[in-house]
């Protein structure tokens, strides 16, 4: 895949992820991790190749959801109204929007903050709202692009544990971009390693679980 300035971001990328896998993608800054995530998300279309994500039929469920490094909450909307946004866009009826959003806030332990504004929340809490907004659509595939890297080490570890707990509950498929190897080892059942110029996959390894999973 080439950007308009003729930078070749990716070359010969070929991999397949099984439903329910937690896959981390690691590699140096600039190796094309975000580009890969954006291609899978459908945000870039001038690439040569083929991306397939399982389709879902229900209108209030999405095949995939994205979580970025910034929580990207709308500051003028309360927590609950941020979480229900994707359901609103999918024209789900309002009672259901509310019910599902409260349930999503509950699983990230923020039900009590449903009526708070983003400015009232800590960085970690905002990120948990962002996770809830992604999970509310019941995605089959979660694309997470360095989601916690702006947070301090302790908050980050807490959120990694939250993420793993949520994944264990619902078993969506995760593609998690990070340049933190220990984080990748902690979270993943598989790690894809990329190198740069242009971005290629140089290793693809299964990880024995370092964390008790049920």
Which chain residues interact with ligand ADP by CB under 6 A? Answer: 3, 5, 7, 9, 27, 29-35, 120, 122-125, 128, 155, 158
Shortest reach from residue 9's CB to ligand ADP, in Å: 4
Shortest reach from residue 4's CB to ligand ADP, in Å: 6
Nearer of residues 3 and 15 to ligand ADP, judged by Cβ: 3
Nearer of residues 68 and 167 to ligand ADP, judged by Cβ: 68
Question: Could you tell me how far CA 34 lies from the centroid of its own chain?
Answer: 12
| Angular region, 20: left φ>0, alpha ψ -120 to 50, beta rest | left
Nearer of residues 92 and 121 to ligand ADP, judged by Cβ: 121
Shortest reach from residue 122's CB to ligand ADP, in Å: 3
Nearer of residues 31 and 40 to ligand ADP, judged by Cβ: 31
Nearer of residues 3 and 209 to ligand ADP, judged by Cβ: 3
Q: Residue 142: beta bridge partners?
A: 65, 174
Nearer of residues 87 and 199 to ligand ADP, judged by Cβ: 199
Shortest reach from residue 89's CB to ligand ADP, in Å: 25
DSSP per-residue string spanning 83-134: HTHHHHHTT--HHHHHHHHHHHHHHTT-GGGTTS-GGGS-HHHHHHHHHHHH
Type and span of the H or E element at 153? helix 153-170
Shortest reach from residue 204's CB to ligand ADP, in Å: 16
Shortest reach from residue 137's CB to ligand ADP, in Å: 22
41-to-10, 45, 69, 115, 209 alpha-carbon distances in Å: 16, 10, 16, 30, 27
Q: Give the E-state strand segments of the chain in sequence order.
A: 22-26, 64-67, 141-145, 173-177, 190-195, 200-206
Residues near 146 by Cβ (< 8 Å), separated by ≥ 6? 68, 69, 177, 178, 179
Q: Residue 204: beta bridge partners?
A: 192
């Amino acid at each position: 895949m080439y950007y308009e300035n003729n930078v070749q971001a990716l070359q010969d990328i070929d991999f397949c992820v099984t439903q329910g896998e937690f896959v981390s993608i690691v590699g140096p800054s600039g190796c094309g991790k975000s580009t890969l995530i954006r291609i899978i998300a459908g945000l870039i279309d001038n690439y040569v190749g083929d991306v397939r994500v399982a389709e879902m039929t229900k209108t209030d469920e999405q095949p995939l959801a994205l979580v970025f490094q910034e929580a990207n909450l709308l500051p003028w909307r309360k927590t609950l109204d941020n979480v229900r946004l994707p359901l609103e866009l999918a024209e789900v009826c309002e009672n259901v929007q509310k019910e599902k959003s409260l349930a999503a806030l509950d699983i990230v332990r923020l039900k009590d903050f449903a009526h708070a504004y983003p400015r009232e929340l800590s960085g970690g809490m905002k990120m948990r709202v962002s996770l809830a907004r992604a999970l509310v659509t019941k995605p089959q595939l979660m694309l997470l692009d360095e989601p916690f890297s702006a947070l301090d080490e302790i908050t980050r570890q807490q959120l990694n544990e939250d993420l793993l707990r949520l994944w264990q509950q619902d078993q969506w498929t995760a593609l998690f971009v990070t340049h933190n190897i220990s984080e990748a080892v902690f979270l993943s059942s598989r790690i894809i390693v990329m190198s740069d110029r242009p971005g290629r996959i140089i290793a693809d390894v299964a990880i024995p679980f370092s964390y008790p999973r049920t």
